């Protein structure tokens, strides 16, 4: 099951649509950072998906800003 494989550092989306990064994993509770100094606890079953580098941020981090040229 996907929810059983969640690890610290994973970028996730909750069933409610909240995006964040996993800070810690306990048996049934996942602590997720959603903003600087803001963590929430989410029941493991309410993590709906993990965002891979292909779907979250990888492309944006490799683009160059040409507006300064």
Res 63: pLDDT = 35
Res 53: pLDDT = 59
pLDDT digits (tens, 9 = 90+) for 4-58: 789 999 999 999 999 999 999 999 999 999 999 999 999 999 999 998 755 555 4
Please determine, for residue 62, whether its predicted confidence score (pLDDT) is greater than 90.
no
Is residue 45 within 8 A of residue 12, CB to CB? The reply is no
The rounded radius of gyration (Å) of the Cα atoms in the chain is 14
Res 55: pLDDT = 54
Predicted model pTM = 0.72
Residue 46 CA to residue 42 CA, distance in Å, equals 7
For residue 57, give the H/E element and its range: none
Residue 59 CA to residue 16 CA, distance in Å, equals 25
Token pair recorded at residue 19: 């995006």
């Amino acid at each position: 099951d996907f929810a059983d494989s969640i690890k610290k550092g994973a970028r996730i989306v909750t069933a409610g649509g909240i995006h964040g990064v996993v800070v810690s994993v306990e048996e049934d509770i996942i602590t997720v950072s959603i903003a600087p100094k803001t963590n929430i606890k989410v029941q493991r079953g309410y993590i709906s998906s993990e965002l891979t580098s292909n779907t979250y941020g990888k492309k944006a981090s490799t683009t160059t800003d040409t507006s300064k040229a």
